[in-house]
Amino acid sequence: MKKFSVTSLAMIIFVGVFGFPNIANNFKAVGTSASLMLMVGAIIFFLPLCLIMAEFGAYAKDRAAGIYAWIEIGLGKKIAYIAIWSYFVANIFYLPTLATRIPTYLSFVFFGDAEVTNTQTALLGTVALIFALIIGLKYEKQFHKVSTFVGYLSLFVAGIFLVAGIYVYATGQSSTAITATTFAINLHDKPSIAMILSTFAWIIFAFGGAEICGVYVDKLDEPEKNFPKAIFIASATIGILYVLGILAIATFGTADEFSQVSLVNAVISGYQFMGQKLGLGPWFIRMIAVSYTLITTVSLVLWSVALAKSVFSEVPEGTFPEWLTRKTETGVLKNSLIFQTILALLFIFLTTFGGDKAGELYYKIYDMSTMSFIVPYFFLALSYIIFKKKNHISPFQAVKNPIAGMILGSLLLILCLVSLIFSGYDISKSFADQMGTIELYYGGLLFFLLIGVVIKFFSGKKR
């Protein structure tokens, strides 16, 4: 098989991580100060995370399980299982989310607005999931060519937004006043501090996803050199676009105006505000909608394949039911890809055709899975600390001094703890007043971890 290029892998990371809704929603929450917060998040969280992944990827260059392999190196198979099970729980709900965004974008393509019913969303989302499954089963080895093209497309579309924002600001048409004081973070009272802590915790979520590159490290030529290059190119691009994206979006509309926009429509709405500022016709929104239809479809394929490889490709026998980890002659995890697709389809049909009670149940379970997203990063940081303590030598070293490496890992570990705590706990409210939220988030995490333990127990017992 032809090897991946550095650019191909960088574009895979970019498509997997960069999300315009993260810009819109953080701007809605705290205004232009989100730009400074994203900058801080990129420097103290995303950069250390990428450095650690680059070092692990170069060290385990022949392994295709990504984050599972990296955690196993430092902490062993049992902890790696807990981490990867949490990773599966967090991301299996992301697949139907991606799939059901595609019908909304298609509606903008054909009708110029989000005129799509729940039934149409479910049916078109089903088509998207089945399409992603077919690509994953038949054409995954050639798909990096499409990913590279769509990565450039995503960069181009984001670039249009940034350039237009600069033009609007330079011509004095900005909807939001952008001065040095607008970047200030309000820490004057307890509620504002709570808002900042909560927002910063969720900003960490915006940088999640770069680990999908780990399942492609063995497909790179000279991975010990090119894998870190790809990560650095992608991480720098993502960090810069997130920071500048907040400034651009502020020129097209105020935080209050964007607060009226739903999460699903946040992507297109940003460009609608831009089109109104510049007097662009309906063709512009249709063009953007076509672009995001392609971007989201490719992202769905990448996440589906990466999730299966990370979770099921290298776990020991008896960890999961044997049929889930079985590979075809060409190394494709056929059964796990089908299993993931079926689960995603069940989630879509449950929320669409199951009635109000079924929908409420699904979204409650979805919220319960939220904290699972942080667990793999927490254990990755801990694994890196052990890795450096044992003085393992990687072809690429983020830092050569073991003590400095342990400090780097500790920084990531502390930030993961901060995110875990303050994404579900508000310091401005009493413990009793938010007991329901605490039970939902942290009780949900314990609930899913318990399910993982039960699955491993019965899988091992059957073996």
Instruction: Domain 6-460: give its CATH code.
Output: 1.20.1740.10
Beta bridge partners of 4: 220
Beta bridge partners of 220: 4
Quote the pLDDT of residue 264.
60
Quote the pLDDT of residue 428.
78
301-336 tens-digit pLDDT: 988 988 888 888 888 888 888 888 888 887 788 999
Largest Cα separation within the chain, whole Å, is: 69
109 — alpha (psi -120 to 50), left (phi > 0) or beta?
alpha
Which position has the token pair 């910063």? 200
Structure tokens at 462: 């059957």
Backbone angles phi, psi at 173, to 5 degrees: -105, 5
Quote the pLDDT of residue 379.
94
- Helix, coil or strand: residue 4: strand
Residues of the chain falling short of pLDDT 50: 1
- Rg (alpha carbons) of the chain, rounded to whole number: 22
Quote the pLDDT of residue 75.
92
Quote the pLDDT of residue 427.
80
Quote the pLDDT of residue 26.
77
**CB 66 within 8 Å of CB 309:** yes
Nearby residues of 26 by Cβ (< 8 Å), 6 or more positions away = 34, 37, 38, 199, 202, 203, 206, 246
Q: Which helix (H) or strand (E) holds 408?
A: helix 402-422
Quote the pLDDT of residue 403.
92
**CB 62 within 8 Å of CB 225:** no
Backbone angles phi, psi at 280, to 5 degrees: -85, 145
Nearby residues of 354 by Cβ (< 8 Å), 6 or more positions away = 362
Structure tokens at 328: 């075809």
Cα–Cα distance list, 138 to 132, 133, 361, 434, 461 (Å): 10, 9, 35, 48, 34
Q: Which long-range contacts (CB under 8 A, 24 or more apart) does 103-107 make?
A: 103/128, 104/264, 104/265, 104/268, 105/267, 105/268, 105/289, 105/290, 105/292, 105/293, 105/296, 106/289, 106/293, 107/289
User: If you count them, how many residues does the chain have?
Assistant: 463
185-208 tens-digit pLDDT: 777 777 777 777 777 767 777 777
CA gap 135, 399 in Å, rounded: 39
Quote the pLDDT of residue 389.
92
Amino acid residing at 57 = G
Q: Where are the domains of the chain?
A: 6-460
